[in-house]
Amino acid sequence: MEVVRNLSLSENVTNGSLPDIDSPGPLVTLSVFKVYTLAPVMAVCVLLFLLGVAGNLSTLLVFHHCRELRSTTRLYLSSMALSDILIFSGLPLDLYRLWHYRPFLFGDFLCRFQLYLSEACTYATILHVTVLSAERYLAVCFPLHARQLITRARVRRVILVLWGVAGATAGPVLFLFHVEDQECWPMAEGVHSGLLQIMTWVSTLYFFLPLTCLCLLHGLIYRKLWATRHGPSSRSCPSRHRQTVRLLGAVVVTFALCWLPFHVGRILFSSAAWASEVEREGGEALYAASQNFNLAAMLLFYLSAAINPLLHNLLSARHRAALLPTAARRASSAHLMLPPAPLPEYRPLHPCVTYGFPKALYFRNFMW
């Protein structure tokens, strides 16, 4: 995703002019929005960056150090956390381009690669959510087959395939953008040939097709859980299935709400680029609409990358029980170079807790 990429084809149209793709204009420092608009956006983006990077790093840390959480589901979630961190690696450059999209001072390679990395990570996250939901469907509805099919070795191979497919699908982005007259924007050949519109619709299909599959899979899962819970074998449905499905359901809802505006904005942007070749006034109006819409879509996009760790903490008791003790152990080891001494008079509340806390202090730390 690059909402700044969506904005990069257009100069500030508040003065009533639409840029000509073939004639970029003078080499001056340009910004898309006014300072009073960019300042709060900058503050929100910095907050999302700090929360997102810290939260996703904590997810990787907990899943790595806590053996009890090393399930196949956690392998997918760890890979998604890595994808979210890579997405946030492009946020500083996005903010720079919001303030000064011309001149672009970082070279042709970074122009192409940052947009490609963001696109590939977006596709990878979508594929991970879809495949993980399919795995949960098998685990809930066909548990015997799932035990044979779903193994850690196979899941690792599936994750590699997902990253490969995402990287290959996003490949045309490397040939669509370049630096011209000190601005990172699509090549004129890519716009005129229709490649920009093709990639826009590929991205749109990457959203709506998985969303349809997710709705279908979760509908079947919830129907199975409801029948099991209210049937004669109500105890046969493990609580971990219900907890995992709740977590995935929240991830899917967040996925839909945060990324739908982005895809709508992309369609507006692609239509504006095409309309500028046909009708000047129509393209100008679409550029103005896409600029403002895409600014909000950018915030929602980065919110989606930052919110997954929060969902893990809110909906997964096991994740909450492992997070602070693991972080405390790492902090103590970093400062003292030795593991903290165990307190035998207290029993840990979770297998990942290697030393005990007084219960009052433990619950006070987790009831925030």
Tens digits of residue pLDDT in 256-299: 888 888 777 777 666 665 555 545 555 566 666 667 777 888 89
Q: Cβ distance 48 to 94 under 8 Å?
A: no
262 and 348 in a common domain: no
199 and 115 in a common domain: yes
Sign of the dihedral through C-alpha 284, 289, 292, 293: negative
Fill in the DSSP letter of residue 342: P
Give the end of a domain, one of 315, 342, 359.
315
* Averaged pLDDT for residues 154-165: 95
Q: In terms of residues, how long is the chain?
A: 368
From 59-68, 165-174, 313-322, the region with the lowest mean pLDDT? 313-322
64 and 117 in a common domain: yes
Q: Cβ distance 222 to 212 under 8 Å?
A: no
Q: Cβ distance 95 to 32 under 8 Å?
A: no
325 and 195 in a common domain: no
* Averaged pLDDT for residues 98-117: 86
From 16-30, 70-84, 119-133, 144-158, the region with the lowest mean pLDDT? 16-30
Give the end of a domain, one of 270, 294, 315.
315
Range of the domain at 351: 317-368
Answer whether the bond into residue 103 is a cis peptide, omega within 30°. Answer: yes
Provide the 3-class DSSP secondary structure of residue 45. helix
| pLDDT at residue 87 greater than cutoff 90 | yes
Tens digits of residue pLDDT in 182-227: 778 788 887 788 888 888 888 889 989 999 998 898 888 888 878 7
What does the alpha-carbon distance between residue 107 and residue 178 come to, in Å, rounded to a whole number?
A: 9
Tens digits of residue pLDDT in 166-188: 999 999 999 888 888 777 878 88
Number of domains in the chain: 2
Beta bridge partners of 23: 20
Mean pLDDT, the chain, as a whole number?
A: 73
* Averaged pLDDT for residues 333-339: 48
What does the alpha-carbon distance between residue 341 and residue 328 come to, in Å, rounded to a whole number?
A: 13
**Beta pairing class for 177-180 and 183-186:** antiparallel
What does the alpha-carbon distance between residue 98 and residue 93 come to, in Å, rounded to a whole number?
A: 9
Tens digits of residue pLDDT in 232-255: 555 555 566 666 677 767 777 887
* pLDDT at residue 367, as a whole number: 29
Give the end of a domain, one of 270, 288, 315.
315
Sign of the dihedral through C-alpha 222, 350, 357, 81: negative
List the Cα angle 206/110/93 in 5-degree steps. Answer: 80
336 and 304 in a common domain: no
Residue with tokens 């760890």: 78
288 Cβ contact list (under 8 Å, min separation 6) = 13, 14
**Closest by alpha carbon to 276, among 18, 69, 34?**
18
Question: Would you list the DSSP string of 205-250?
Answer: HHHHHHHHHHHHHHHHHHHHHHHHHHSTTGGGS-HHHHHHHHHHHH
As a whole number of angstroms, the longest Cα–Cα distance in the chain is 78
261 and 172 in a common domain: yes
213 and 89 in a common domain: yes
What is the CATH classification number for the domain harbouring 58? 1.20.1070.10
324 and 342 in a common domain: yes
83 and 45 in a common domain: yes
Provide the 3-class DSSP secondary structure of residue 176. coil
What does the alpha-carbon distance between residue 163 and residue 218 come to, in Å, rounded to a whole number?
A: 24
352 and 308 in a common domain: no
Count of beta carbons in the 10 Å neighbourhood of residue 290 = 27
216 and 336 in a common domain: no
Q: Token pair for residue 127?
A: 């594929």
Distance from the Cα of residue 357 to its chain's centroid: 35
**Closest by alpha carbon to 280, among 1, 13, 7?**
13
What does the alpha-carbon distance between residue 232 and residue 65 come to, in Å, rounded to a whole number?
A: 39
255 and 208 in a common domain: yes
* pLDDT at residue 21, as a whole number: 42
* Averaged pLDDT for residues 69-89: 87
Q: Cβ distance 290 to 275 under 8 Å?
A: no
In this prediction the pTM is: 0.73
